[in-house]
Structures are given as structure tokens and as C-alpha cells.
Amino acid sequence: MAEINAQVTEVLDKLRPFLQRDGGDCELVDVEDGIVKLRLLGACGSCPSSTITLKAGIERALMEEIPEVKEVQQVF
């Protein structure tokens, strides 16, 4: 489990500059049974496009890099 958390963190670190450029960020909350739980921060938390960012951007990148990831969910 710690290995998957480390892998997820590594992928998020690659994506983080793109989120920060728009005034946002994300925080890894938990990984459980292949479901990555993220909290969107800053501008990303209230952005109308945050669902697209989460699913089309972050989820796709995580699933491509880490086969164990099945889904990404936003937590508040």
C-alpha cells in the first residue's frame, strides 16, 4: 500500500505545476482498493472545470502510470 501511495505522489508531483499555474493544487488523502481519494485545493476546489481536471487529467494520468488505480474520487 505504501508503494502505491508513493507512486501516486510521484505522478501528482508531475501534474502539480500545471495545477499551480492556474492557482490550484491537489492533496492525496488516501488510496483504498485502487481508488485514489484527492482533495482539490485553491482555485481547483471551486473551479467549474474541476471535474474535468480530476477525471480527464489526473485520473487518466494515474491510470496510465499505475495499473492498480481504478478510479479517482474527489473528497472535500
**Structural domain of residue 59, as residue ranges?**
2-74
| CATH classification of the domain holding 43 | 3.30.300.130
Per-residue pLDDT tens over the stretch 14-45:
999 999 998 999 999 999 999 999 999 999 88
Q: Where are the beta strands (DSSP E) in the chain?
A: 24-32, 35-42, 71-74
Q: CB–CB of 39/26 below 8 Å? A: yes
How many domains, in total, are found in the chain? Answer: 1
pTM of the predicted model as reported, rounded to 2 decimal places: 0.92
Give mean pLDDT, residues 53-66: 95
Q: CB–CB of 57/15 below 8 Å? A: yes
Q: Nearest to residue 68, comparing CAs of 11, 19, 22? A: 11
